[in-house]
Structure 1
Amino acid sequence: MLVGGAGVLLGVAAVPAQAAEVSYRTECVPPPISGLPPVQGTTTVAVTAPAAAKVGEEVEVVWTFVQAASKNPDLVDLPANSVQPSGTLKAAGAQAADIAMRGPRENPPIPKGGAMVLSAMKGTLKLTTPGAVTLTPGAYAINAMSTDTKCAPQEAVQAAATINVTPADGGSGTSSPTPGPTGSGSPSPSPTGGPGPSGSPAPSGTPAPTTSGQTDFTGKEVQVPYKCKTPIGDKEATSPVQIDARRNGGSFDLTVRFKESVMDSPAEIPADSVKPSMEVVLGGADTGTVHVEGPTNAEPIKAGDPIEIPDLTGTYKPGASGESTLSPGVLTVEALGTTTTCTPAKTEVSLTLDTTQQPGGAAGGSSSGGSSSGGSAAGGSAGGSASGGGLAETGAEDDATLKALALVAGTAVLLGGAVFTFLPRRP
């Protein structure tokens, strides 16, 4: 096991650092998608901190994993720089505080069954009270390939370091404890997070037949609950999606946008390896679907770089006259020879258009393009009728946004980490 270096940032009067190790029984809970039960292991941690400092100083403390709770299971090789630890260090005694700790996403390649190699975590504590301040490791989480394994002590843990805090010369020593600079106040941060504000970019939902000269139509951003079938199992997620249109004769050029920012890539992704597409569902006066698709990734995506969902585009030729609705439909992601299909649990109307029937239009079937003349359009409107596709509304409380293609691609490169967890040590 690689033991990360431990440096300490001290105030002017702080004395050299001291470090101590503690071991404790640990239960680690794998990500739900893995289908694996909680497992038991032993964690050994070294905590480095200044032996003494003064009130008012902000000191840096370092948590080094001497031994993780277990090895990498025999499921997937973890690429270099794909694993990131975070956790909470408990300060007690003269001063009580939870110190948020986080390490960089730095690790060598870890083969199946290999020893887990976790980077050293750092955090800061502002000293407020004279006396002995003890530092004790608490719960921690390991993020690998966009999933979290959460680990918690199963016994009382001994203090790993003590800082002797003396009064500051002329200082009040009454500052409030300040957590570490990482901004993480939780020992088990979720890679997924909430769906974010939806905003209100859409215009009025009332069709306006007098806007015959209008060419661009902005849809309403809707939260779409997806039920995804991936090569490694089922997944539910909610994604904010918006459908916009531009009049092109009697047809409309559609653009489907995934509005939420996407996750960082958990591994190197080759160029031209991931391609998304969707079937936009028609309703109201019109029926059928419109196929839209996006380009493959033109450039390789480095591990740690953000993954962007490209705009999906296609052409809608109306098959009926009247008010026709457009809703996000089945999303398909092809990646490295695998296919993942995500079906909305319910219909969410993003855009309503005032359409004029065109020869060979979409009514009663599918449409992938075409152009003609005539037609008028109205602004986007909100909707939410039950889907006719056979999937009832589930009301799932999965508040994770659809984390772009890495969540749903279902490839070994992108989703192998979904089954990352700890396994008991073997003899």
Structure 2
Amino acid sequence: MFAGAAALLGVTAGQAQAAEVAYATKCVPPAGVGLPEVNGTTKVEITAPATAKVGDTVDVVWKFTQAASKNPDIIDLPADSVQPSGTLKAAGAQTAAIAMRGPRENPAIPKGGAMVLSDMKGTLKLTAAGQVTLTPDAYVVNAMSTDTRCAPTEPVQPAATITVSAGGGSSSSSPSASPSPSPDPSDSASPSQSTSPSASGSPSSSASETGGSGQTDFTGKVVDVPYTCQSPIGEQKATSPIQINAKKNGGSYDLTVQFKKSVMNSPIDIPADKVKPRMQVVLGGADTGSVTVEGPTNTEVIKQGAAIEIPDLKGAYKPGATGVSTLSPGVLTIEAMGTTTTCTPDSTSVSLTLDTTEQASGASGGSGSSSSSGGSPSTGGGLAETGAGDHGTLKALGLVAGTAVLLGAAVFTFMPGRIRRR
């Protein structure tokens, strides 16, 4: 429930009127969360001027006195994590679809608690004399980077009526035209994308530099890898700067894969030993196959709102061919709280080049710890470094605690702008 009445901002001769209407509503949770649709009752109070003149631009307020569903018994929703948007229909003397939006402001909502949605506001420029009715229609609740869409399942009665008289020009200082543009709930939920980082560390050594030099440590270049991730809450697009380094160990190499900008915030408390990342390093050039690298599980409880980083992923590469071999980031898999998110590169680039010597039971031919890339492209002349600009900064790998939450699944969000690990 909300505290306080919504204020009328429009400049009109008539006083504000507020009327409540209730209507049956079906809410559809985000795709892939495994939760059923919810049928409930929405109660809305619309505040608008009782009278106005043609040419006036009036402000209207949509106040939720009851949302169609409660917060499921899954997680607590943090404060200021929920934002509503919707459409208010004008009919009668003129017709319009008024875009309504509320701020991302809410108290912390406990498991099973009533959903508390902020007041939504919009404007309407009056163009014809007569009576204009205002009727609430569909709305969207954006929470934890996911959308739940709610729509009436029965005819809805008008919640307010404006009596519009003929007039000469607008008496309002607001220049907005009617109807307002359709709301886009995602624009306030998504953080601004930072620019792609340049490569950190030295580029990988060439074959001539590597051969015969006695070098044992090899530093790869940072490459931006655009991923398509299949998660419990559906498909997500993500881009991450990744670097592959190697240390010679006899005829083999110890690999370390670093995610340079993969800082994520947890919306829930996660117990220790519940998050496990793995990745396939794709071989190209003289060698073929892939090598599995993995990181440790989290050693401590991760508190709600705390930052999480993907740890260094480590593995061993035993060359299966003699010549110049390349190593590129491949499929990334993250297991958390009994769920799995699989991210496949849309394209990839070589991070490290090595002058290799064939070892018994080496990678070439798919033996040993290596395997086929599982759909990740080989980079011995494979896909170029393209497509990174079409993805957000690695922002949503979709790790979910148990089942998802109806109004916003519990998603780990990769946040841009963090200081890069070195």
TM-score norm. by structure 1 comes to 0.65
1:30 deviates by 2.9
1:57-93 Cα distance to aligned partner (Å, 9 max, x none): 55432212223334455x4254353544322112333
Give the equivalent residue in structure 1 for 2:227. 224
1:85-124 Cα distance to aligned partner (Å, 9 max, x none): 3221123333623223235341453443x5x332233222
1:411 deviates by 2.0
8 Å contact kept, 1:148–1:191: no
> Aligned equivalents of 1:17 and 1:273: distance in 2?
57
In structure 2, relative to structure 1, the CA distance for the partners of 1:295 and 1:313 (3 Å cut) is: same
Counterpart selection for 2:405 from 405, 411, 417: 417
In structure 2, relative to structure 1, the CA distance for the partners of 1:78 and 1:86 (3 Å cut) is: farther
8 Å contact kept, 1:91–1:98: yes
Indicate yes or no: 2:232 matched with 1:256. Answer: no
> Aligned equivalents of 2:309 and 2:381: distance in 1?
23
1:155-201 Cα distance to aligned partner (Å, 9 max, x none): 33222123345535677999662677xx8615x759998xx999897
1:3 deviates by 3.7
Give the equivalent residue in structure 2 for 1:390. none
Give the equivalent residue in structure 2 for 1:343. 342
> Aligned equivalents of 1:153 and 1:24: distance in 2?
7
8 Å contact kept, 1:55–1:171: no
In structure 2, relative to structure 1, the CA distance for the partners of 1:76 and 1:129 (3 Å cut) is: same
Identity %: 31
8 Å contact kept, 2:87–2:138: yes
Which secondary structure state, in structure 2, belongs to the residue aligned with residue 162 of structure 1?
strand
Unaligned runs of 5+ in 2: 200-204, 371-378, 385-390, 410-422
Which secondary structure state, in structure 2, belongs to the residue aligned with residue 328 of structure 1?
strand
Which secondary structure state, in structure 1, belongs to the residue aligned with residue 86 of structure 2?
strand
> Aligned equivalents of 1:174 and 1:72: distance in 2?
37
In structure 2, relative to structure 1, the CA distance for the partners of 1:332 and 1:219 (3 Å cut) is: same
8 Å contact kept, 1:33–1:418: no
Give the equivalent residue in structure 2 for 1:177. 177
> Aligned equivalents of 1:149 and 1:339: distance in 2?
24
Indicate yes or no: 2:166 matched with 1:163. Answer: no
1:351 deviates by 1.6
Alignment of 1:327-338 (within 5 A): 327-334=329-336, 338=337
Give the equivalent residue in structure 2 for 1:291. 293
Instruction: Report the residue type matching 1:329 in the other structure.
Output: V
In structure 2, relative to structure 1, the CA distance for the partners of 1:179 and 1:257 (3 Å cut) is: farther
In structure 2, relative to structure 1, the CA distance for the partners of 1:33 and 1:287 (3 Å cut) is: closer
In structure 2, relative to structure 1, the CA distance for the partners of 1:19 and 1:106 (3 Å cut) is: same
Give the equivalent residue in structure 2 for 1:389. none
Give the equivalent residue in structure 2 for 1:129. 127
Give the equivalent residue in structure 1 for 2:104. 104
Unaligned runs of 5+ in 1: 368-379, 386-398, 422-427
Give the equivalent residue in structure 2 for 1:377. none
1:125 deviates by 0.7
Aligned residue pairs, count: 372
> Aligned equivalents of 2:324 and 2:275: distance in 1?
34
Which secondary structure state, in structure 2, belongs to the residue aligned with residue 18 of structure 1?
strand
- CA RMSD for the aligned pairs? 5.1
Which secondary structure state, in structure 1, belongs to the residue aligned with residue 405 of structure 2?
helix
> Aligned equivalents of 1:316 and 1:419: distance in 2?
43
8 Å contact kept, 1:237–1:400: no
Indicate yes or no: 2:323 matched with 1:326. Answer: no
1:355 deviates by 0.8
In structure 2, relative to structure 1, the CA distance for the partners of 1:11 and 1:344 (3 Å cut) is: closer
Which secondary structure state, in structure 2, belongs to the residue aligned with residue 417 of structure 1?
coil
> Aligned equivalents of 2:8 and 2:169: distance in 1?
20
> Aligned equivalents of 2:346 and 2:177: distance in 1?
48
Alignment of 1:190-205 (within 5 A): none
1:48 deviates by 1.2
> Aligned equivalents of 2:83 and 2:401: distance in 1?
21
> Aligned equivalents of 2:327 and 2:310: distance in 1?
23
In structure 2, relative to structure 1, the CA distance for the partners of 1:311 and 1:105 (3 Å cut) is: farther
8 Å contact kept, 1:288–1:365: no
8 Å contact kept, 1:318–1:356: no
Which secondary structure state, in structure 2, belongs to the residue aligned with residue 383 of structure 1?
coil
In structure 2, relative to structure 1, the CA distance for the partners of 1:326 and 1:19 (3 Å cut) is: same
Indicate yes or no: 2:33 matched with 1:27. Answer: no
Give the equivalent residue in structure 2 for 1:424. none
> Aligned equivalents of 1:383 and 1:219: distance in 2?
18
1:39 deviates by 4.1
1:119-175 Cα distance to aligned partner (Å, 9 max, x none): 233222152525343321010123344443321112332221233455356779996
1:6 deviates by 3.2
Which secondary structure state, in structure 1, belongs to the residue aligned with residue 331 of structure 2?
coil
Give the equivalent residue in structure 1 for 2:118. 120
8 Å contact kept, 1:322–1:355: yes
Structure 1, 235-244 or 150-159: larger mean CA deviation: 235-244
Which secondary structure state, in structure 1, belongs to the residue aligned with residue 32 of structure 2?
helix
> Aligned equivalents of 1:283 and 1:27: distance in 2?
50
Structure 1, 289-298 or 116-125: larger mean CA deviation: 289-298
Give the equivalent residue in structure 2 for 1:282. 282
Which secondary structure state, in structure 2, belongs to the residue aligned with residue 351 of structure 1?
coil
Which secondary structure state, in structure 2, belongs to the residue aligned with residue 32 of structure 1?
coil
